[in-house]
């Protein structure tokens, strides 16, 4: 892996004073013999960093400081394979467009983010959202390899989740952290695994059309079954308003 600090910053530069980093459109020399080279941007010491741009670049992974002042992050059309955003209180949005090599997204304790969109990302396998109290909407659609989608912790303002047309038959959906979910769309999904939901009594929209969903568990309530053990899709306690 390329040492970002040595190549682009230099050993004598004070990391803590760097506010802006722009690596947009940086790519490896076309004559390089290295196949699928890794380019990790390690910014764990850059605790005053405000903007980072790796759009249209060959950056494959990045490490951000655990407590930072980051306000802008541009990753569109990059080679990034994994995003771990943790304790980023000033970052209010992120655009995943064109991140076709992205396999894992972790969003943890990012209090300013209100919406997330992950659409048609062929390599996306896992999305975990934890403790984002101002998150209101997640659109995660058309990701054919998505196998894990989780909402945990305090995501109490999250009301709209669209998981339509995620066609991996093993997709696990855990939404317990979305305590006030009001709209859920899982149309066109092929998973038959039980969806885990918070204990709610009403929703405005629940779209299960053209899906293979067989059961939904609300809170710790047991999922009812037929005599033969097959799950029953029981929505009797939910009022659609």
The angle subtended at Cα 151 by Cα 234 and Cα 181, nearest 5°, is 55
**The model's pTM:** 0.90
Tokens representing 85 are 């955003």
The span from the CA of 50 to the CA of 175, in Å, is 32
The span from the CA of 106 to the CA of 168, in Å, is 19
- Dihedral of alpha carbons 115, 121, 123, 125, sign: positive
Q: Give 67's Cβ-side CA count (13 Å radius).
A: 0
Helices (H), the chain: 4
**pLDDT tens digits, the chain, 241 residues: what are they?**
455 665 555 555 556 678 898 999 988 655 555 566 678 888 888 888 899 999 999 899 998 887 778 999 999 999 999 999 999 999 999 999 999 999 999 999 999 999 999 999 999 999 999 999 999 999 999 999 999 999 999 999 999 999 999 999 999 999 999 999 999 999 999 999 999 999 998 999 999 999 999 999 999 888 888 888 888 888 888 888 7
Q: Exposed, middle or buried: residue 161 (CB in 10 Å: 0-12, 13-18, 19+)?
A: buried
């Amino acid at each position: 892996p390329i040492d970002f600090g040595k190549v682009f910053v230099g050993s004598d530069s004070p990391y803590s004073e760097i506010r802006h980093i722009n690596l947009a459109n940086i790519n490896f020399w076309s004559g390089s013999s290295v196949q699928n080279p890794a380019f990790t941007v390690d910014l764990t010491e850059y605790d005053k960093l405000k903007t980072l741009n790796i759009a249209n670049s060959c950056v494959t992974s990045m490490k951000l400081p655990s407590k930072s002042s980051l306000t802008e992050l541009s990753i569109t059309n990059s080679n990034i394979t994994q995003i771990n955003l943790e304790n980023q209180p000033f970052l209010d949005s992120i655009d995943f467009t064109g991140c076709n090599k992205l396999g894992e997204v972790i969003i943890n304790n990012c209090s300013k983010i209100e919406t997330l969109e992950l659409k048609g990302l062929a390599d996306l396998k896992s999305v975990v959202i934890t403790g984002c109290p101002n998150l209101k909407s997640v659109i995660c659609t058309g990701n054919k390899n998505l196998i894990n989608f989780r909402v945990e912790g305090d995501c109490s303002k999250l009301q709209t989740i669209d998981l339509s047309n995620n066609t991996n038959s093993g997709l696990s959906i855990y939404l317990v952290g979305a305590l006030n979910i009001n709209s859920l769309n899982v149309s066109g999904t092929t998973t038959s695994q039980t969806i885990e939901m918070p204990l709610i009594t009403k929703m405005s929209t629940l779209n299960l059309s053209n899906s293979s969903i067989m059961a939904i568990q609300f809170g710790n309530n047991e999922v009812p079954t037929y005599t033969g053990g097959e799950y029953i899709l029981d929505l009797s306690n939910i009022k659609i308003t």
